[in-house]
Structure 1
Amino acid sequence: MTPLLFPDYVQAIRELDLASISGPAAIPERFLLAREGRISMHYIPFEHVNPEARIVIVGIAPGFVQWKIAMAESQRQLANGAPQADVLRAARLTGAFSGAIRPNFVALLDAIGMQRWLGIASCATLFGEDAHLVQISAILRHPVFVDGRNYSGTPGMARLPFLREAVLRYFAHEAAQLPDALYIPMGGSVAEGLDWLAREGVIRRDRILHGLPHPSGANAERVAYFLGRKERAALSSRTNARQIDAARATLLAQMDALSES
C-alpha cells in the first residue's frame, strides 16, 4: 500500500506564496517528486480515494492550473483547521469538471444510461448530492510537465518506464481499492493507459467504458453528434460519424449488459 505523502508536504503547502508562482518552472523544488530528462513530476494533494465510488472518471494528469487551485484550497482548509481527510477530499474535488465541460459530460453519461445503472435521476447529481458515487482521478496522479508544459500524452506513458512506474505506484493503488467500479477514460491517451493496466491485471477490461467523446468545448461537434443534436449530413470532414456510431452502440450494449448482471 502506498503511504500518504501529504504529511510530508503540509508545512511546505502552508508556506507557499502562490501569487509568485506563474508557471511550472516556478514550482518550488520541494515539490519535485521525480525528474527524468525533459520530464518532471510534482506533488499535488490528490490522494483522496472515495471507497464508495462506483465510477472513476480518469483524466490524463493534473495541469499547472489544477496544481495552483488544489494548493490554494489546501491552504484554505488548513487555515480553517480542517482534518487531513477533509483537506485531501476538498483539494481533489475543487474545480473538478467546472465550466462548460460539466453539462456536456453529464449529457454524455445520461445518454448511455449511466444514471439508470447508478440508480439516480441524472448524472448531474454526481457533482452534488451523489458525489459519493464518483471518484475524480487521473491516470498520472501528480502533475507531469514536459519541457515545462503540461503533459498531453506525448510521449506515450505506457512506453516510458518513468511514467509507467508513476501509474503503477499511484493510480494502480487507487484502482485496487475500487475493483468493481467502472472506469471512464477522458481521451485516447488515457484509454490506451487503462488498456495497458488491464493487460497488467490491475483493472478488469470489462469495467472500462471506451468511446465517449471528450466533453471539452474543443470537441463540441463530436459531442453534439453522439448526443443526436447534430445530423450526420451536417458534420465537418474532421468528424468520423461511423466511428462515433460504433462507439455509441458498443457503450449502450455494455451498459445494458451491466444493468442485467
Structure 2
Amino acid sequence: MTDCSNYRKFGPVMDSMARLDKTDMDRLLLDREPETGLAEYYSAHTDWMDPDARVVFIGICPGFEQMKLSFDLVREYSSQPEEEVLRTAKIHARFGKSMRRNLIALANRTNLPDLLGIQDCAALFEPDCHLMDNTALLPYPVFRHGKNYTGHAPKISKSPMLTEICERQLKKILNTYPDAVFIPLGKCVDEQLILSGAIPEERIIHGFPHPSGANGHRFRQLEENLDSINRQLENALKKEENHHAA
C-alpha cells in the first residue's frame, strides 16, 4: 500500500532544492501548531508500506537525519517510477545507521530470529525481505522549536494536531498490515498504543526498549522484559501463522 499523493506534490519542490537543511525546511511544511511550537514536514520514505510484513516496528516519528537521507535518496532515484522511488528511500533511510545496528542487536537477543526462521535480524533489512516493515505513530518528521520531537512535552494526546495525525495513521496501519504483529519502540509508543486502543492488544509486543544510542539502558531494559517479550512474540506470531494456514 503506497500513497504517492504527497510525493507528487512535494517531489518537484525537492527537485528544485540543492540540499536539505533546517533553513529552508518550510518548503516541505505539512502542518504547524504555533501554540506548542510543533511543525510537521514531508519526508518521502514513510509513504511506502509493505503489507506482506509479519512484524512491524513502530516508532514515534522520523528525525532530521532520516529526513535528510530520504531527501538525498529521492533526488538520486527520481527518474524511477514513483513507487520504486518511495520503496528505495524507505529501505535505505529507515532507522539510520546507528539506530539500525542497535535495533538488530536488541532483536537478536529475543526469539524473533527463530520464530521468523532467519539466522540474524540483519536479514530483516535486506532490500528483498518482506518479513519486516517499520512505521511510526507520526509518519512524517515532527519538530518542536526546531528540534526532533521525542514524544514528550507535549505528549501526543495533549496536542490536537498530533492526536489527529496519530489517529489517522493508526487507521492506515491497521488497513495496511491486517495480520502483522506490532513492536512499539520504547515506553512512549507503548503507552500511546494502549491509550488509543486502535490495535488489538494481542497483536502488540510490550516492553521492547527504544534502540536509540541516547537510551543507555536499552540492553538492561530488554533483559528485564525478555521473558515477557518472548512469550508475547511466540503467542502472537503463532496465532498469525495459524490464521494464515486456515
The TM-score, its normalising length taken from structure 2, stands at 0.85
Which range moves more in the overlay, 251-260 or 202-211?
251-260
Q: 1:253 aligns with which of 222, 225, 231?
A: 231
RMSD: 2.3
Amino acid at match of 1:91: A
Q: 1:213 aligns with which of 201, 209, 213?
A: 209
Kindly state the Cα deviation for residue 60 of structure 1 after the two structures are TM-superposed: 1.0
Kindly state the Cα deviation for residue 188 of structure 1 after the two structures are TM-superposed: 1.7
Closer/same/farther in 2, CA of residues 259 and 90 from structure 1, 3 Å limit: closer
Kindly state the Cα deviation for residue 110 of structure 1 after the two structures are TM-superposed: 2.9
Kindly state the Cα deviation for residue 53 of structure 1 after the two structures are TM-superposed: 0.7
Is the partner of 1:132 in helix, strand or coil?
Answer: coil
CA contact 2:181–2:236 (8 Å) conserved in 1: no
Give the equivalent residue in structure 2 for 1:12.
13
Matches within 5 A, 1:78-89: 78=78, 81-89=79-87
Is the partner of 2:52 in helix, strand or coil?
Answer: coil
CA separation in 1, counterparts of 2:156 and 2:68?
24
Q: Deviations over 1:184-241 (max 9, x none)?
A: 11222211222233x2xx31111111112222333344415745xxxxxxxxxxxxxx
Kindly state the Cα deviation for residue 259 of structure 1 after the two structures are TM-superposed: 5.0
Kindly state the Cα deviation for residue 55 of structure 1 after the two structures are TM-superposed: 1.0
Closer/same/farther in 2, CA of residues 164 and 118 from structure 1, 3 Å limit: same
Q: Which runs of 4+ in 1 moved over 4 A?
A: none
Gaps of 5+ in 1: 228-243
Closer/same/farther in 2, CA of residues 211 and 17 from structure 1, 3 Å limit: same
CA contact 1:93–1:136 (8 Å) conserved in 2: no
CA separation in 1, counterparts of 2:194 and 2:167?
13
Q: In percent, how many aligned pairs have the same letter?
A: 32
Closer/same/farther in 2, CA of residues 187 and 260 from structure 1, 3 Å limit: closer
Q: 2:103 aligns with which of 73, 81, 105?
A: 105
Give the equivalent residue in structure 2 for 1:35.
32
Give the equivalent residue in structure 1 for 2:169.
170
The TM-score, its normalising length taken from structure 1, stands at 0.81
Amino acid at match of 2:12: Q
CA separation in 2, counterparts of 1:190 and 1:162?
17
Q: Deviations over 1:157-190 (max 9, x none)?
A: 0232210111122343133210211111122221
Which range moves more in the overlay, 217-226 or 171-180?
217-226
Q: Deviations over 1:8-50 (max 9, x none)?
A: 12211211121xx432x53133x21111111111111121010
CA contact 2:174–2:199 (8 Å) conserved in 1: yes
Q: Is 1:52–2:52 an aligned residue pair?
A: yes
Q: Is 1:203–2:202 an aligned residue pair?
A: no
CA separation in 2, counterparts of 1:98 and 1:15?
25
CA contact 1:57–1:186 (8 Å) conserved in 2: yes
Is the partner of 2:5 in helix, strand or coil?
Answer: coil
Closer/same/farther in 2, CA of residues 41 and 250 from structure 1, 3 Å limit: same
Kindly state the Cα deviation for residue 96 of structure 1 after the two structures are TM-superposed: 2.4
Which structure's CA Rg is the greater one?
1
Q: 2:130 aligns with which of 132, 143, 149?
A: 132
Q: 2:116 aligns with which of 118, 124, 134?
A: 118
CA separation in 2, counterparts of 1:109 and 1:70?
24
CA contact 1:179–1:203 (8 Å) conserved in 2: no
CA separation in 1, counterparts of 2:188 and 2:47?
22
